[in-house]
Structure 1
Amino acid sequence: MSAEPGAPRTVVVTGATAGLGYWASEQLAAAGHRVLLAARSLDRAAAAIESICSMVPGAEVEHVALDLADLDSVGAAAAALADRLPDGIDALVNNAGVVGSHEQRSTAQGHELQVGTNHLGHFALTARVLPLVERRAGRIVHLGSIAHRWARLDRADPLGAGHYSSYRQYGRSKLAVMLFGFELAERLADVGSSVASVVAHPGFSLDVLAPDRPLVAATRAEPAWTRPAQRLYAQGKDDGAEPIVHAAVAPDVRSGEYWGPAGRMQLRGPAGRVTAEPKAHDRLEAARLWTASERAAGVAFALDALG
């Protein structure tokens, strides 16, 4: 990246008002970075900013409006970022996501909600802000998941739901995210771009195991005695955010890598380089997804203009 290791950077985090996005934002602010919380709700963003500033006095934290389930909002957010960050973005953390929906729901443009938000909204955002990241020789971090291990995309309709299953569709959305992230790394390298595309995942991370942040998290309902058992196979979302933060700003990260918890089955543990399923690196599958995503999002990656 263009900044020296440890130097303050400007990082945009989507879905930063709760969960992993909140913890990543707090950790980035604590390390001295400027953080823009890209999120739908002004009220929730204000609460997250208040919480971060209470933990990190003097934190430089701002909000930018973004609804990833509406491609018009994605375009407006990208334009706002270009206006506010003319010197560029050091890291874009594509964290936001929909986790489960018992009934099939749609985005503003009619795409299935989980794939439409988790993958397609971020695909469109990345295409639009890539020149800003190139300006800073920065990074794009894509939030993967161990759920990709059990997913397959429909080759004829990579963005579709078919016979809808909430769990299956979440896995598909995360496989799509990872296919895009790894393929973007290949295409950036092909044109000699200085931008890095990195995939990271949080393992099995639970809100209940994270420290209290009353302004951004609901009161825990589980009894305290359950937590030691949960910690055998899971970790708090504060720990789950660490591979994401590492992927965004650490000096030892390279384009095309996959970062996550380095413990057993990648469920918990310290951040480290980990291995994705081979299907997440399938370039033919990624090409089909890329073409379908450009068509559905109405965007094109101007990769030839980079490098």
Structure 2
Amino acid sequence: MSAERTPLRPRVVVTGANAGLGYFVAEQVAATGARVVLACRDEGRASRAAESMRRRIPDADLEIVVTDLADLSSIRAAAARIIAGGPVDTLVANAGVVGSKKRQTTADGFELQFGTNHLGHFALIAHLLPALTQAEAGRIVHLGSISHRWARLDLDDPMLVSRYRSYTAYSRSKLAVMTFGFELDRRLRAAGSSVRSVVAHPGFALENLTEKRPGIVTRRWLPAPIVGLMRTVCQGKDQGARPLSYAAVGADVQGGEYWGPDGWFQLTGAPALVKAKKHASNRKAAARLWNLSARLTRLQPVLE
């Protein structure tokens, strides 16, 4: 009688895992026993993040793959390295740019926030879909935002060439992420794929309310009454990461769902199924966004 083989740990890729939400998602997922790929732009910062995780989880199975979501050539090279390591059970598409006072562009000439937050992950997903398909039940988690409530896509000027405003660029980029995430799941289902696409958001998560992680989290001093007031409507990034972590490894998570905090206005709380605004699931806008993204990145996700 042959001995039973020990099941392989699930393999989870987290972009932007060296800081903020991405760090805590990676730490929380590693604590479940998963193998975690830290897909980060800066190898030194990723190494420090890995050291911090191992101080809390001595047996953490971590790998670093340098990945710059603002550079299509870096994304292609990173994806090749990730694929060489075997199937991917979950991709947490977390990395992103939050705010840029002046209009900046990626290595490929895209507006920085739209180009990194949406197009960079669109490209990475297109490259990694074969590895996700090889997993028993691949899963993609997209980082949404409550800011999508006040945004509308402008696919005639997605790069904000005519008029640039930082908050508009950010909120539209996050709406694009969510619109693509929901559309991707619809198309995966239609194709009969085993891969599922999920969207999750952290609520209102601030660094100053976050658990201490030396060298990773920077908290500035504030008077206790101010901190107490902030906690009524905000939470730390460690708590904000929990809906993303749950969406990544939760056993009852289904494709097309939207996860976030269960508190008032989805600002704070425990992971729960929540509702997105209807315009985030607009099929016409989603089709236009998909075609635009494929044209700009010169990639077409193959769904099977």
| TM-score, normalized by the shorter chain, greater than 0.5 | yes
Residues 106 and 112 in structure 2, CA contact (< 8 A), matched pair in contact too: yes
Q: What SS is found at the alignment partner of 1:100?
A: coil
Residues 107 and 116 in structure 1, CA contact (< 8 A), matched pair in contact too: yes
Query: 1:20-35 residue pairs with structure 2 within 5 A?
Result: 20-35=21-36
Amino acid in structure 2 at the alignment position of 1:240: G
CA distance in 2, matches of 1:280, 1:161: 23
Residue in 1 that maps onto 2:185: 185
Amino acid in structure 2 at the alignment position of 1:285: A
Q: What SS is found at the alignment partner of 1:245?
A: helix
Q: Show CA shifts across 1:183-239 (max 9, x none).
A: 000000001101010000000001111111012122423334422111100111111
The answer to whether residue 20 in structure 2 is matched with residue 15 in structure 1 is: no
Query: Unaligned regions of 5+ residues in structure 2, if any?
Result: 1-6
Residue in 1 that maps onto 2:126: 127
Amino acid in structure 2 at the alignment position of 1:140: I
Residue in 2 that maps onto 1:64: 65
Q: CA deviation at 1:7?
A: 7.9
Residue in 1 that maps onto 2:4: none
Percent identity of the aligned residues? 54
Root-mean-square deviation (CA, aligned residues, Å) is 1.3
Residues 14 and 22 in structure 2, CA contact (< 8 A), matched pair in contact too: yes
Residue in 1 that maps onto 2:234: 234
CA distance in 1, matches of 2:294, 2:35: 31
Q: What SS is found at the alignment partner of 1:47?
A: helix
Residue in 2 that maps onto 1:204: 204
CA distance in 1, matches of 2:62, 2:82: 14
TM-score normalised to the size of structure 2?
0.95
The answer to whether residue 49 in structure 2 is matched with residue 48 in structure 1 is: yes
Q: CA deviation at 1:158?
A: 3.6
Residue in 1 that maps onto 2:151: 151
The list of structure 1 runs, each at least 4 consecutive aligned residues, that deviate by more than 3 angstroms after superposition, is 157-162
Q: What SS is found at the alignment partner of 1:105?
A: coil
Query: Unaligned regions of 5+ residues in structure 1, if any?
Result: 1-5
Q: CA deviation at 1:58?
A: 1.1
CA distance in 2, matches of 1:22, 1:238: 9
Amino acid in structure 1 at the alignment position of 2:99: G
Query: How many residue pairs get matched?
Result: 297
CA distance in 2, matches of 1:222, 1:71: 40
Q: What SS is found at the alignment partner of 1:259?
A: strand
